[in-house]
Amino acid sequence: MSDTSTATAPSAAPRAEAPDAAPAGSRGRRVGAAVARWTAAALVCGALGTGTAYGIASMDRDDVPGLATESDGRWDYPRLTLPALPEGRQRPYSDGNRHQIHHADLRDLLLPAPAGATVDKGLGGGWVRESRYLSEYAVEHRAGLRQALADYGVRHIAARGWTMPDGTTTRIHLLRFTASDAAEEFSQSVIGAGLSPDAALVGAPGTRLDESWEWDELTGPVTLHVYDEVPPVGAGHTRQAYILAGDTLALVTQTRKGAAPAVPFRQTVLLQSQLLG
Q: What is the DSSP string of 151-213?
A: HTTEEEEEEEEEE-TTS-EEEEEEEEESSHHHHHHIIIIII--SSS-SSPBTTB--EEE--SS
Decide if 252 is inside a domain. yes
Whole-model pTM: value is 0.76
Decide if 258 is inside a domain. yes
Decide if 99 is inside a domain. yes
Decide if 238 is inside a domain. yes
Handedness of CA 21, 23, 27, 33 (dihedral sign): positive
**From residue 124, how far is each of 58, 117, 167 by CA, in Å?**
30, 12, 18
pLDDT given at position 85:
80
Domain count along the chain: 1
pLDDT given at position 190:
96
pLDDT given at position 114:
98
Contact (CB, 8 A) for 253 and 272: no
Decide if 5 is inside a domain. no
Decide if 26 is inside a domain. no
Burial of 52 (0-12, 13-18, 19+ CB in 10 A): middle
Q: In terms of residue numbers, what domain contains 93?
A: 33-276
DSSP state of 49: -
pLDDT given at position 100:
62
Decide if 20 is inside a domain. no
pLDDT tens digits for the chain (277 residues)? 333 333 333 333 343 433 333 333 333 333 333 333 333 333 322 322 323 333 322 233 333 333 334 568 999 999 998 888 877 777 776 777 777 677 789 999 999 999 999 999 999 999 999 999 999 999 999 999 999 999 999 999 999 999 999 999 999 999 999 888 899 999 999 999 888 999 999 999 999 999 888 776 677 788 999 999 998 888 899 999 999 998 999 999 999 999 999 999 999 999 999 899 8
pLDDT given at position 25:
38
pLDDT given at position 132:
97
Decide if 220 is inside a domain. yes
Q: In the Cβ-directed half-sphere of 255, how many Cα atoms lie within 13 Å?
A: 15
